[in-house]
Amino acid sequence: MGGDYNLHSRQWDTLFPTTSSQSNLAKVDALHGALGHNLISPPDVVTHMPDNINLRGSVIDLVWADADLTTSINIRGQARGLSDHAILDVKLQTPPWSLLGTPSITKGSDDEINLLAELAQSLSDILPSEEYPPSDLFGLYPIPYDPTTTLETATRLYQAYQDAWTSHAQPK
C-alpha cells in the first residue's frame, strides 16, 4: 500500500520536524500493523519537492508491504516530470501461483460440484438448525442478536468458504 500520506514523522524523515498529529501517526501505525505491513520506503530519501523554493523537500510519499514479501523500492526524484512528487518504483515478490494464473473454478466442473457439497456440509455444521417463522424476515418475531456469536459465526463461515475454495480452485 502506498501513496502521498502527507504526514511528517521522524520515523521516515529524521531531518524534518514531526508536524503531523500524533493521533494521525498512530492511526497509520495501527492500520499497517494490523495489515502486517512493514514500511519499505527508505528513511530520509526526499519524495516531495515543493515548487515553492522557500520550502524544503520532505518524505511524505510512503510504501508499506507485507512483512513476509521480498521487496525493493527505487525513488526517482529526477524523473517526476511536472509533478512535485518523485516516482516510486516498487517491486514486490509474487506468490508462485500468480505465474500460473488466478485460481478459479470452472462452472459445471467436478471442482464446482465438490466445492458446493463441501460448503453445504460446512453451512449445516455452522448455522443453527432451528428454523424461524418466515415472518421473521419482516421483524415480527425478532431473532436474538448477540454480537459475539454473530462475529464468531461470520468468521467460521468465511473460513469454511476460504478452505473450500483453496481445496478446489485451480490456477488457469
Q: Are 170 and 107 spatial neighbours (Cβ–Cβ below 8 Å)?
A: no
Render pLDDT for 147-165 as a digit per residue (tens, 0 to 9). 677 788 888 999 999 999 9
Q: What is the mean pLDDT of each run of 10 residues along the chain (172 residues)?
A: 91 87 90 91 92 89 89 90 92 78 89 93 77 52 65 88 92 76
Q: Supply the pLDDT for residue 141.
A: 52
DSSP state of 42: P
Other residues' Cβ atoms within 10 Å of the Cβ of residue 62? 24
Domains of the chain: 2-93 (3.60.10.10), 100-171 (no CATH)
Alpha-carbon distances, residue 71 vs 7, 38, 63 (angstroms):
23, 10, 10
pTM beyond 0.75: the answer is no
DSSP helix/strand/coil, 157: helix
Q: Write the DSSP assignment of 75-135 as a string of letters.
A: EEGGG-TT-SB-EEEEEE---THHHH--EE--TTSHHHHHHHHHHHHHHHHHS-SPPPPGG
Which amino acid is located at 92 in the chain? L
Beta-carbon contacts of 125 under 8 Å, excluding residues fewer than 6 positions away, are none
Q: Supply the pLDDT for residue 86.
A: 94
Is beta strand 87-92 parallel, antiparallel or unpaired with respect to 71-76?
Answer: antiparallel
Q: Supply the pLDDT for residue 76.
A: 93
Q: Supply the pLDDT for residue 118.
A: 93
Cell numbers placing 73: 523500492
Q: Write the DSSP assignment of 55-75 as a string of letters.
A: SPPB--EEEEEETTS-EEEEE
DSSP state of 21: -
Q: Supply the pLDDT for residue 97.
A: 67
